[in-house]
Amino acid sequence: MAVREQQRQLVMTADPALAWVRLVFVALVGVVVLFIGTHGPSPLLVWGVLTIVAAYAAADCFLGLYRRFRWLLTRRVYAAIDLALITFLVAITGGSSSPLYMLYSLPLAVTVLTQGARAGALYCMAVSVLYGAVGAAGSPTHSMVWVAHLGIFWGLYLLLAYVTYAEETREEKARRRDELGAMHSAATAPVHTGDIPTVVERILTGALGATHSCWVAIFLYEETDDRFVTRYSLALDDHDGDVRQEQVQVYASDVLYTVLYTGTPMAICDVHSDRRLKDSVIRREHVRAALVLPLATGDRRIGVLCFGRAETHRFSQHEMRFSETLAKQAAVAIHTAVLFEEAASIEAAKEADKLRAQLLATVSHELRTPIAAIQGFASSLRCADGLDIPKEMEQDWICEIESNAERLRRLVTDLLDLSRLEAGALRMNFEWQDLHDILEELRPNLEILAGSRKLVVQVQPSLPLVRCDAERVGQVLTNLLENAAKFSPPDSMIVVGAERHEGGVKVGVLDEGQGVPPEFRERVFERFYQVEDGSPGRQHGTGLGLAICKNIIEAHGGRIWVESSAGQGSIFYFTLPSPSTRN
């Protein structure tokens, strides 16, 4: 009910220019008629009046049909004035024989085309009565002409009514199809993905065509601390068939909030002259009429749906009902998408918990293994009473305890490094460095790690300086070389090379080992991931070396990867970008 009231109020404030045109016209006709009354009719005057009235009627038709000021032109009081005016003119210009009777057909055309066939029939009857009265009051000899005139008049009406009816049926069909399309796109929006922007876009695209709108928008709100905040907004702007998307900012004073709070739709016939819309996002150059509907499911208010039209428009009951149904459907779709999104985030949190638990289990396993060896050998030494244990075996056990303690120490250090790297808590000491110097300094260490393997260092001359933490880059190189040595046969060759790469430096460590199978090339950089090929000696590392390398290189803005072909050895590369190419 409130909607109807709002509509009525807004109708009153519509564009007054046309009303002035009509008023001036009526005054003009009055003057002319007064003139005829005092000077007696002359054919020139009659034709002059006829021309003015015809021009008026043509303008009436044109504005009414093409500018769609229907609500103004077709108000019954104006129709009655037109009718009375024409009848008066007919009466003073010869009664039923006057050619001015044809003027009736112009308002008839307007009435039938804008108000439909039924209103047209009513109009025809009114004309018949009035014209009949004029005819009866005039000379009875003209009765045959009079009947013929009315026959032509009704014939015209029937023709117009038929055309309108056919047109209306066609329009109705098209409208139903559009409306069904809009409902369909709202109902089949992919809510299960929890992707709210896609759902909103889908609903808006469907609504844009079905409602003759040039601008449609959805604002989704979230209630926090008794206050609504915009969670997401999307508008589709149809600029002569070119649909653009925009994100719109809604201010707290916007009338949209009224619709959201009260939960009642609002129809605005003329946006530009409505004071309530002064700061509203709806108030934009090309939007003249608007419909604002709340989006709510049950008690939960989730947002607002807006339709904007390019011309002032009085929304029909059918349009209101359809829009409200569409808004309900849209609200359900969006709410479902929101629920799916929430469910997905809970799922993700669970998944993270599971991963954390898994990691903890792995870490505990990795820590227990060296502890088990230490405890085992220590208790072996303690419980050796009565057994004849060779001296070398005892020595070997002591060595085992030592090396496992060392492994445990490395594991703890690596774990700490990695967790600090991942938390971003490990501060990098960035300085301008020449990779040539870093490699030269590390060379003795690398030689030791390479053992019996032949180490070749190839550095391109005049490498660009890079900003890096020399100690950490050294750690990466050491780790890579350790790996290379571990997985390649003695007497093979290990090459460490560095070259210019996209303004920075690319470093490669090549070995002639068994290579990394393609399916493991990404995963070798994960923690505790070791290629399961059943080869002996896989157990020397902590399983954290490459994960640490990856984190260090990424902290430098670089990239680390492995290229390999099974059995042909592998090359681990990493890049250190120069600061200018780093984003």
Partner 1 sequence: MARVLIVEDEPSLLKFLSQNLALRGYDVVAAADGQQGLAQARSASPDLILLDLMLPGFSGWDVLKQLAREGILERTPVIVVTAASREEDEQRARMLGATDYLVKPFGVPEMLSRIRALLPAPFGS
Q: Which residues bind partner 1 (CB under 8 A)?
A: 361, 364-365, 368-380, 382-383, 387, 389, 393, 396-397, 400, 403-404, 530, 532-534, 536, 538-539
Output 88 or 529, the one with its CB closest to partner 1: 529
- Between the alpha carbon of residue 384 and those of residues 172, 372, 380, the distances in Å are 100, 18, 6
Q: CB 360 → partner 1: shortest distance, Å?
A: 11
Q: Which is nearer to partner 1, 249 or 539 (CB)?
A: 539
Asked if 530 contacts 543 with a C-beta cutoff of 8 angstroms, the reply is yes
Give yes or no for a contact between 52 and 35, defined as CB atoms under 8 angstroms apart. Answer: no
User: How far is C-alpha 547 from the chain's CA centre?
Assistant: 37
Smaller CB distance to partner 1: residue 539 or 580?
539
Among residues 225 and 388, whose Cβ is nearest to partner 1?
388
Strands 454-459 and 493-501, by their bridges, are parallel
3-class secondary structure, 234: strand
Min dist. Cβ of residue 365 to partner 1 (A):
4
Q: Residue 120: which residues within 8 A CB-CB, separation 6 or more?
A: 108, 111, 112, 157, 160, 161, 164
Three-class secondary structure of residue 332 per DSSP = helix
CB of 361: closest distance to partner 1 in angstroms? 7
- Shortest spacing between CB 392 and partner 1, in angstroms: 11
**Distance separating alpha carbons of residues 445 and 457, to the nearest angstrom:** 13
The smaller minimum CB distance to partner 1, of residues 444 and 537, is found at 537
Q: What does each C-alpha distance from 402 to 84, 384, 397, 399, 537 come to in angstroms?
A: 118, 19, 9, 5, 18
Distance, in Å, from the CA atom of 446 to the CA atom of 480, rounded to the nearest integer, reads 10
Residue 169 or residue 379: which is nearer to partner 1 going by CB? 379
Query: Are 520 and 531 spatial neighbours (Cβ–Cβ below 8 Å)?
Result: yes
User: In angstroms, how far apart are the furthest CA atoms of the chain?
Assistant: 153
Closer to partner 1 at the Cβ: 155 or 518?
518
Task: Return the structure tokens found at 212.
Answer: 């003759």
Nearer to partner 1, 291 or 374 (CB): 374
Report residue 530 as tokens.
């070791």
Q: Which is nearer to partner 1, 144 or 387 (CB)?
A: 387
* Residue 228 host element (H or E): strand 227-239
CB 314 within 8 A of CB 7: yes
Q: How near is the Cβ of 481 to partner 1 at its closest, in Å? A: 23
The DSSP-derived string for 261-300 is: HH---EEES-GGG-GGGTT-TT--TT--EEEEEEEEETTE
Min dist. Cβ of residue 547 to partner 1 (A): 18
For the CB of residue 245, give the shortest distance to partner 1 in the complex, in Å: 51
Specify whether the CB–CB gap between 224 and 316 falls below 8 A: no
Tell me whether residue 184 or residue 368 sits nearer to partner 1 (CB atom): 368
What amino acid occupies position 156? L
Residue number, 349 or 399, with CB nearest to partner 1: 399
Given a contact cutoff of 8 angstroms between Cβ atoms, the answer to whether 426 and 417 are in contact is yes
User: Taking the complex as a whole, how short is the minimal distance between the CB of residue 399 and partner 1, in angstroms?
Assistant: 10
340 Cβ neighbours under 8 A, 6+ residues apart: 191, 192, 193, 194
Min dist. Cβ of residue 403 to partner 1 (A): 8
Q: For residues 306 and 216, is the Cβ–Cβ distance under 8 A? A: yes
- Shortest Cβ 545–partner 1 spacing (Å): 17
Smallest gap from residue 555 Cβ to partner 1 (A): 31
